[in-house]
Amino acid sequence: MHSTRRILCQGLNRNLRQFSCTSKNNFKVAVAGASGGIGQPLSLLLKQCPMVSELRLYDIVNTPGVAADLSHIETPAKVEGYEGNDCMEEAFKGCDIIVVPAGVPRKPGMTRDDLFATNAGIVRDIATAAAKAAPKAHFCIISNPVNSTVPIASEVYKACGVYDPCRIFGVSTLDIVRANTFVAELKGLNPMEVCIPVIGGHAGITIIPLISQAKPKVDFDEATLAKLIPRIQDAGTEVVKAKAGAGSATLSMAYAGARFAISLMRAMKGEKDVVECAYVASDCVKGLDYFSTPLVLGKNGIEQNLGLGKLTAGEQKLVDAAIPELKKSIQKGVDFVNK
Task: Tell me the helices (H) and strands (E) count for the chain, helix number first.
Answer: 11, 11
How many CA atoms lie less than 13 Å away from 139 in the CB half-sphere? 35
**What is the distance between the alpha carbons of residues 260 and 142, in angstroms, rounded to a whole number?**
11
Terminal alpha carbon distance of the chain: 39
Distance CA 53, CA 42 (A): 16
Strands 274-281, 301-305: pairing is unpaired
2, 72, 138, 202: the catalytic one is: 202
Please state the φ and ψ torsions of residue 208, each to the nearest 5 degrees.
-125, 95
Annotated catalytic, 202?
yes
Cis peptide before 197 (omega within 30 of 0): no
Helix (H) or strand (E) holding 142: none
Q: Mind telling me the catalytic residues?
A: 202
